[in-house]
Structure 1
């Protein structure tokens, strides 16, 4: 999983100096590699490098890291067992799980998210694999920076300018930081499909949301793109099915899109929508990354217009980067509507923030208000 602007460096000058990172991995090769990457960055610093979860717990107070990169499989105390002990010792600690792409590790990573881990990064099977180490490095350093920087800046509740009358609706350029966010009216057409895009923090947000929108799923198709690698999306689909009580699976190329089901973009492939007779079908795309992501939200959002025109309601949840903003703008220009998660309840207010600041949203809401709002929208409510 990759994100927009992943190669950009954060400012070296921070209120508390470089972001302090503890590396926990029983592989001396991986541990040394990650430590070298961190030490080579002027805004990051290795606070400690240890081989087991037990050593991490014992070293935490002395090392005082901002971020911990935590392996899953280790002797003495594995990552999933060490996680709650680390968080108990330092409540605001950011823990990023690192694991190879096996089904078992993916399941453990999902459990870690529910226990308080901030995110995960897939480790390459071999550091000799072409491009794999570079992708791992880029994603890991980007997430360390994003989460570390978030610890050091307060969350400001943006001013919300109410939506004007429909004839005055307009898309405004991104304003300066903390400038008021202009809302636009909801589209006049009743929505006929629900699209959801998410990234960092998305799995937990998605599970919360789908549990609240059962009546919507029963009436219309729900399509989701979550930035995730293969295997992880397979398991996420299973979790979504259990949380919603409705069928959920990874989209299959060419399959018909029908109400009553949740379709999740499979890891490593973009999911678009195409016409199929009088209906719609999934079209999987193995093309290049978009917004440094694959799957990406923008192609799903933009392609939906060809089938449902103004009858699209899109939700942009927590995540890094700006994926979903361009596709959301296309939805709004076609007469549809966009809802974004607010900053206070987002793990990272990148994607929803980009949509909100672009002036394309009809609502910017806390996560617990998005589900009820969506249900009202599909029941005929417009406000």
Structure 2
């Protein structure tokens, strides 16, 4: 039998520690090697137990989750951390945790009762498995993009198009690096799907908006899809597009209901290809699984271009690997070079006549 994934569960609630431990222990490939009641206790347990993955509450006495993440980083320990938090109580802390290196989020039920806590079982098991695939060497604080922007590109005003971006595990940090580098006069709208729980995508959009030159919003049905705006797909529903009175607008759709992810990168890419055709530049960033591969095929068939993040910079080289191995990637680019690569695609598109043909 393959080696089990060793997990440390950190939460100040004894009830949650027991419940999360039971969820993980009920899965053959996971093993809970210990629990901790706060950040100080967790630091001692990390040293003694050397877990592969940590699940972490954020609001705790003595040393909270953010303090624990910073201490872990200062000690030079590169252990993937899955935050388990209530969005309404710890949303801002959750965003700070992502900035501090947490790789994924799971939303705890607001009512911590036996009949509700187990609703997150599938999510937390999936996130722990995904986090375990992370390369420790790439678990680092994201490079500071605040002082960096790439040069603007002149694109004909009549040219329709879209930059469509998909990400999962490690994606929030990658987006936090990539999107602030797009200049205020970036000529195309941007649409983003990142796998996050319900309750966190709006907070994440606000977080990005505070550091980006472009306006970042969580998409609502009917939101204009226009240059100068980055639309983040809300958790729990797919982001598509339709023609409005004054141009293309966002269309939120619960269908298809099957599949692992909603919103899905596949659905975003397919909708973008249908609406914008050869004017689409697709970007697949770090994440586990293959979401984005089927959509990339459709995007390529419509004449669009596809950039995949290189293994060297991915926290989890799953989604980009799937796209590359399927033969759909036009370019494979490390995260540090991705902003420039996007601009080069727009420059090449302009040279071809502005419509991607």
TM-score, with normalisation over the residues of structure 2?
A: 0.85
Unaligned runs of 5+ in 2: 139-158, 353-357
Query: Larger RCO: Structure 1 or Structure 2 (Cα < 8 Å, ≥ 6 residues apart)?
Result: 1
Counterpart in 2 of 1:291? 259
Q: With the length of structure 1 as denominator, give the TM-score of the two structures.
A: 0.79
Q: Is the 8 A contact 2:72 2:78 kept in 1?
A: no
1:195 is paired with a residue whose SS is strand
Picking from 95, 104, 107, the partner of 1:119 is 104
Contact (CA 8 Å) 1:20, 1:46: kept in 2 or not?
yes
1:313, distance to aligned residue in structure 2 (A): 0.9
The corresponding residue for 1:170 is none
Equivalent in the alignment of 1:374: 342
**Superposition deviation, residue 255 in structure 1:** 2.9
Q: 1:36 — aligned with what?
A: 22
SS in structure 2 of the partner of residue 237 of structure 1: helix
Structure 1 spans left out of the alignment, 5+ residues: 1-11, 155-189
1:291–1:323 CA contact under 8 A, matched in 2: no
Note the alpha carbon deviations across 1:209-241, whole angstroms, 9 max, x for none.
1122226x6311111111123331112212222
SS in 2 for 1:344: helix
CA distance in 2 between counterparts of 1:356 and 1:145 reads 22
Q: SS of 2:287's equivalent? A: coil
2:14 is the counterpart of 1:25: no
Q: Which of 2, 13, 17 is 2:2 aligned to? A: 13
> Are residue 49 (structure 1) and residue 35 (structure 2) matched?
yes
1:211 alignment partner in structure 2: 180
Contact 1:24 1:71 in 2 (8 A): yes
Give the match's secondary structure for 2:242.
strand
CA distance in 2, matches of 1:153, 1:114: 17
CA distance in 1 between counterparts of 2:344 and 2:258 reads: 32
User: 1:328 maps to what in 2?
Assistant: 296
Answering whether residue 66 of structure 2 is matched by residue 86 of structure 1, we say: no
Q: Cα distance, 1:53 vs. partner?
A: 1.5
User: What residue in structure 1 maps to residue 156 of structure 2?
Assistant: none
1:318 aligns with 2:286: yes
Aligned residue-pair number: 331
Residues 117 and 362 of structure 1: CA distance in aligned 2, closer, same or farther (over 3 Å): same
SS at match of 1:380: helix
SS of residue paired to 1:230: coil
The aligned residue for residue 343 of structure 1 is 311
User: 2:132: which partner in 1?
Assistant: 148
Match of 1:226 in 2: 194
Deviation at 1:54, TM superposition (A): 1.6
Corresponding residue SS for 2:298: helix
Q: Secondary structure at the match of 2:221?
A: coil
d(CA) in 2 for partners of 1:74 and 1:25? 7
Indicate the larger mover: 365-374 or 344-353.
344-353
Does the Cα contact within 8 Å between 1:23 and 1:50 map onto a contact in 2?
yes
Residue 306 of structure 1, CA deviation: 2.5
Could you report, residue by residue, the CA deviation over 1:287-338 in whole angstroms, capped at 9, with x for unpaired residues?
4545311211222211122321211111111112211111111010111111
User: Taking structure 1 as reference, are residues 191 and 340 closer, same or farther at Cα in structure 2, changes over 3 Å only?
Assistant: farther
Deviates more, 1:75-84 or 1:356-365: 75-84
Deviation at 1:153, TM superposition (A): 11
Contact 1:289 1:295 in 2 (8 A): no
Secondary structure, counterpart of 2:311 in structure 1: coil
| Matches of 2:137 and 2:43, distance apart in 1 | 26
CA contact (8 A) 1:60 1:86 kept: no
